[in-house]
Amino acid sequence: MKDSRFWLWFVLILLLAGGALAILLWVASSVIGTVQDTTSQALQPVGSLGTQIAQVLNPTPTILPDPVTIVHDMRSLSRLETIQFSLEKVITAETGQGPLASLFGDRLLFVAHGIVIAGVDLAKLNPEDLWVQNGVLYLRLPSPEIFIATLDNDKSYVYDRDTGLLTKGNINLETDARRAAEEEINKAAVEDGILNIASQNAQNYLYRLLLDLGYHEVIFVQPTPQS
């Protein structure tokens, strides 16, 4: 009888101890969750503040194009583009260079990537520039010309810039460098023979086209030199 009571009390004690342990675990879990939530809430303003500081130090530019577009001119084109050159030039632009350059000077190196497109403007072709004689078509093409000479802004960049201690730099210096780069790229393309290639490519293209149209022979006549 005494043994039965002993085991009964022993089981009750185990049950009470297990319940108390479960309660303690539940309380501890609740406390830990509350602390984590509080810590997370406390860190959110800190992270938000860091984001705001980063935006101030490295602002993202906002571009707002005007919705109004003004068309100044419209014209039909008959340009036969026959050659494209891709060139690179390094341009040095500077101002205020001299004894006080370290104080008031401004100097930059601009790496320019440009595209030059040339061909023949068929709109300049006159009726007297085509004639047929003895079954042969004679054709006098207009002189070749450069249609586009522009910078590739995705590849062009300022490699280095050095300004004096007492100056903020010339705001027009990069613009001047870009303008000079376009002129130099145009000049380099002409010196490399882009116009001659454009004329030859135009003749080759039109020769095949005119033969397909039924002409048995096509002869290109050199344009009359302009005085």
In the prediction, which pLDDT does 118 show? 96
Residue 197 in domain: yes
Q: How many CB atoms lie within 10 A of CB 120?
A: 25
Residue 34 in domain: no
Measured between alpha carbons, how far is 100 from 164 in angstroms, rounded to an integer?
8
In the prediction, which pLDDT does 78 show? 84
In the prediction, which pLDDT does 117 show? 96
Measured between alpha carbons, how far is 100 from 172 in angstroms, rounded to an integer?
20
If one counts the domains in the chain, the total is 1
Strands 136-140 and 217-221: parallel
Question: For residue 173, what are the contacts with CB-CB under 8 A and spacing of at least 6?
Answer: 93, 94, 95, 106, 108
Residue 199 domain boundaries: 79-221
Residue 32 in domain: no
In the prediction, which pLDDT does 62 show? 74
DSSP label at 155?
Answer: T
Residue 215 in domain: yes
Residue 37 in domain: no
Residue 187 in domain: yes
Residue 8 in domain: no
Give the tokens for residue 122. Answer: 């068929």
Residue 30 in domain: no
Give the tokens for residue 42. Answer: 């406390």
Return per-residue pLDDT of the chain as tens, 227 residues.
445 554 444 444 544 445 554 555 554 555 555 545 555 554 455 456 556 565 555 667 777 777 777 776 676 668 999 999 999 999 988 888 888 767 777 888 999 999 999 999 999 999 999 999 888 999 999 999 999 999 999 999 999 888 878 778 788 888 999 999 999 999 999 999 999 999 999 999 999 999 988 888 999 998 765 54
Measured over the CA atoms of residue 68, residue 72, residue 76 and residue 82, the dihedral's sign is negative
In the prediction, which pLDDT does 173 show? 87
